[in-house]
Amino acid sequence: MNELVTPLRQPYFTSDSLDRAAALRSDQDRIEALLDDSTTHFLPFWRRQHLLSETQPSGVLKLARLRLAELALTRVALRDCYTVFLGFDGVQALFGIDLSPIDDIPAVVSSDGRSFAELRPYEFRLNAQDSALIAQFRAMANWRAGSRFCGQCAAPTRVDQAGYRSVCTNGHEQFPRTDPVVVILVCHQERVLLAQGTRFPNKRLFSALSGFIEPGETAEQAALREAFEEVGVRARSIRYHSSQPWPFPGLIMMGFLIEAMDTALTLDSEEIAEARWFTREEIAGHDALGFDPPSPNMLAGQLLKVWIEQ
């Protein structure tokens, strides 16, 4: 049977405090005024790296926010960079800016303890607001990088609506896309199934199953299908938990717990390197057993927490 499970907390990569102000995106005059406003801040991104700052000696990591003057770029140079209106943090307007077309970033950008860095090693060290901004902007930057030419006629595109629409020279429109993914925690009585994907960079990590929702399929159908395809499990019940954005490159993950009919497994060797049934005691003693469960900042970790505490 299907049951609804109330989420335990606000997911990582989300925040309720940012006003996206979507109604302003079609007001080009207002957007231009905000770009020129001395109180507006920009979140720089350069060739898949975010500008981060670390406070010493506390080691607190933050997403750097710079005014236009601190970018040391003219408005002409700014037009060559993809810029997207993210919204208002209080009264302060925020824009993401992709500086990738610029070969030599002005030195002032990477001064005062700021530096460009890949997100992956630091992804769970950011506060809620910064993680939400990362999720929003990185997904948008990834979309723009893949939409520079029209998918219908291959003509070059330009962006408008504050970065949320691309239009080619023949008038075809494209909008940002979010790909839906199911995350599935398989349970059987007092044990839970965790698996290691063949492409996991961390070879100690055992996590929940996951897979993309296919056209013409509900999220529940995808969860049941993926569980059977990846590990050969048939389910007798399914429970929805919550969702989480995932900006690698631009996903929305929907979490389910399913109860397996039995513990027999048949692994898809192309997707799953190993899968094991674990007790709660084994999850608690994972260090001694030589494996890592999913982080509580991940949806898979939240699903595991639900199972452990039920």
> Is residue 141 over pLDDT 90?
yes
Q: Is residue 142 classed as helix, strand or coil in its secondary structure?
A: helix
Q: Give the residue from 128, 146, 170 where a domain finishes.
A: 128
CATH of the domain at 269: 3.90.79.10
Q: How many CB atoms lie within 10 A of CB 144?
A: 21
Q: What sign does the dihedral 256-259-263-267 (CA atoms) show?
A: negative
Model confidence over 77-118: pLDDT tens digits? Answer: 778 899 999 999 989 999 999 999 988 888 888 888 899 988
- 3 within a domain of the structure (yes/no): no
Spacing of C-alpha 76 from chain mean position: 31
- Is 118 in the same domain as 196? no
- Is 301 in the same domain as 241? yes
- Is 89 in the same domain as 183? no
> Is residue 183 over pLDDT 90?
yes
- 119 within a domain of the structure (yes/no): yes
**Alpha helix locations (H) across 62-207?**
68-71, 75-79, 128-145
Q: Is residue 229 classed as helix, strand or coil in its secondary structure?
A: helix
Asked if 52 and 63 touch (Cβ cutoff 8 Å), the reply is yes
**pLDDT band for position 123 (cuts 50, 70, 90):** confident
- Is 195 in the same domain as 281? yes
Mean pLDDT of 176-199: 96
User: Omega into 294 within 30° of 0, i.e. cis?
Assistant: no
Domain extent, residue 228, equals 178-309
- Is 187 in the same domain as 298? yes
- Is 108 in the same domain as 196? no
Q: Quick one: pLDDT at residue 1?
A: 41
Residue showing tokens 């080691």: 59
Q: Is residue 304 classed as helix, strand or coil in its secondary structure?
A: helix
Please give the structure tokens belonging to residue 46.
């350069």
Number of domains observed in the structure of the chain:
2
Asked if 146 and 185 touch (Cβ cutoff 8 Å), the reply is no
Q: Quick one: pLDDT at residue 56?
A: 65
- 254 within a domain of the structure (yes/no): yes
> Is residue 5 over pLDDT 60?
no
- 7 within a domain of the structure (yes/no): no
- 59 within a domain of the structure (yes/no): yes
Q: Quick one: pLDDT at residue 241?
A: 95
Q: Quick one: pLDDT at residue 164?
A: 97
Q: Quick one: pLDDT at residue 262?
A: 96
Nearest by Cα to 50 from 12, 98, 18 = 98
Q: Give the residue from 128, 159, 190 where a domain finishes.
A: 128
Q: Which residue would you say has higher pLDDT here, 250 or 8?
A: 250
Instruction: Report the C-alpha dihedral over residues 215, 219, 225, 227, rounded to 10 degrees.
Output: 140
Model confidence over 199-246: pLDDT tens digits? Answer: 998 899 999 999 999 999 999 999 999 999 999 999 999 999 999 999
- 159 within a domain of the structure (yes/no): no
**pLDDT band for position 121 (cuts 50, 70, 90):** confident
- 169 within a domain of the structure (yes/no): no
**pLDDT band for position 75 (cuts 50, 70, 90):** confident
- Is 48 in the same domain as 110? yes
Model confidence over 157-174: pLDDT tens digits? Answer: 999 999 999 999 999 999
Provide the pairing of β-strand 165-168 with 82-89: unpaired
Mean pLDDT of 24-36: 95
**pLDDT band for position 57 (cuts 50, 70, 90):** low
- Is 190 in the same domain as 299? yes
**Alpha helix locations (H) across the chain?**
28-36, 68-71, 75-79, 128-145, 219-231, 280-284, 286-289, 299-309
- 136 within a domain of the structure (yes/no): no
Beta bridge partners of 181: 212, 253
Q: What is the DSSP letter of 149?
A: B
Model confidence over 284-310: pLDDT tens digits? Answer: 999 999 999 999 999 999 999 999 998
Model confidence over 268-284: pLDDT tens digits? Answer: 999 999 999 999 999 99
Q: Is residue 310 classed as helix, strand or coil in its secondary structure?
A: coil
Distances (CA, A) of 54 to 49, 51, 57, 60, 265: 15, 10, 9, 5, 46
**pLDDT band for position 140 (cuts 50, 70, 90):** very high
Q: Which residue would you say has higher pLDDT here, 3 or 301?
A: 301
Q: Which residue would you say has higher pLDDT here, 181 or 62?
A: 181
Q: Give the residue from 91, 113, 128 where a domain finishes.
A: 128
- Is 304 in the same domain as 188? yes
DSSP string, 37-70: -TT-EEEEEETTEEEEEEETTTTEEEE--B-HHH
> Is residue 142 over pLDDT 50?
yes
> Is residue 47 over pLDDT 60?
yes
